[in-house]
Amino acid sequence: MSGHSKWANIQHRKGRQDAKRGKEFTKAAKEIIIAAKSGGDPAGNPRLRAAIAAAKSINLPKDKIESAIRKGTGQDAGGELFEITYEGYATGGVAVIVETATDNKNRTVAEVRHLFTKHGGSMGESGSVSFMFDRLGVITLSKEKYAEEDTVMNFALEAGADDVKDDDDIWSIHTAMEDFSLVRDSLEKQGVEMESAALAFVPKNYVPVDKETAEKLIRFNDALEDLDDVQNIYFNFDLPDDFEG
């Protein structure tokens, strides 16, 4: 089992707090719309199945889930979304990847570029920092529900996962991208209650930063999260041990 990242844990807590906001509903609906473009039947579409599960975990109403599926399959208007990923460096030379879903590419690139510059960073070309990350399946479990490490390890091994990370108040189960759907389905069949399950960019190594730099990076993260088109943000920094998020 690998070690933990304090920043990964704070991201998780922030995500749970943000779930109270309407923006999380919008993000979840956009993911469903995009996933449904490959087929509106969750049984044959692992990404859609995961998107619906994530939406249910934040209590997105059933009618909004169904509406998003119809938009994605083209039955209803409003499904014209493009997935675009931006890369660059934040303050302190920290690598950052920003995933977006937008109906206006020009607006989105201008907004993201503006925030990179405003917060002391710079956007780069595609591939400029993604080599510092692995594209993995990441499934999280709450320690409130699963306190025992051995229990989680057994779940993960039975499902065919590659690694389990201890991220303070959550367990993060990592799997190869091509195995993600099989592992997630196996955990589901075992009756495991998952907090989240998605493909993600996971840093190969974390860069330690001091408190001042960490505060700047978190402000940058928060500014990006406030953009309507931003779906996910990934950094490769870790926080000082005494940092309180």
Task: Name the residue among 97, 84, 123, 86 with its Cα closest to residue 236.
Answer: 97
- pLDDT, tens digit (0-9, with 9 covering 90-100), for 86-104: 999 999 999 999 999 999 9
pLDDT tens string 8-45: 766 766 776 665 567 889 999 999 999 999 999 998 89
Q: Residue 36 belongs to what domain range? A: 6-73
Q: State residue 4's pLDDT score.
A: 56
CATH of the domain at 223: 3.30.70.980
Which pLDDT value is given to residue 19?
Answer: 56
Pairing of strands 237-238, 207-208: parallel
Max intra-chain CA distance, the chain? 52
Report if residue 142 sits inside a domain: yes
Q: Could you tell me if 225 and 116 lie in one domain? A: yes
**Phi, psi of 105, deg, nearest 5:** -60, -40
Query: Is 245 within the bounds of a domain?
Result: no
Q: Outline where DSSP puts E strands in the chain.
A: 82-90, 94-102, 122-124, 133-142, 163-167, 170-176, 196-203, 207-208, 230-235, 237-238
Q: Which of 81-90, 158-167, 186-195 has maximum average pLDDT?
A: 81-90
Tokens 């960490």 — which residue? 214
Mean residue pLDDT of the chain comes to: 90
Distance CA 93, CA 70 (A): 42
Asked if pLDDT for residue 53 goes beyond 60, the answer is: yes
In percent, how much of the chain has pLDDT > 90? Answer: 69
- 243 falls within a domain: no
Record the tokens describing residue 179, joined without a space: 């195995």
**Same domain? 123 vs 32:** no
**DSSP code, position 38:** T
Question: Does 109 have pLDDT greater than 80?
Answer: yes
Q: Could you tell me if 151 and 195 lie in one domain? A: yes
Tell me: do 159 and 199 sit in the same domain.
Answer: yes
Q: What is the pLDDT of residue 58?
A: 81
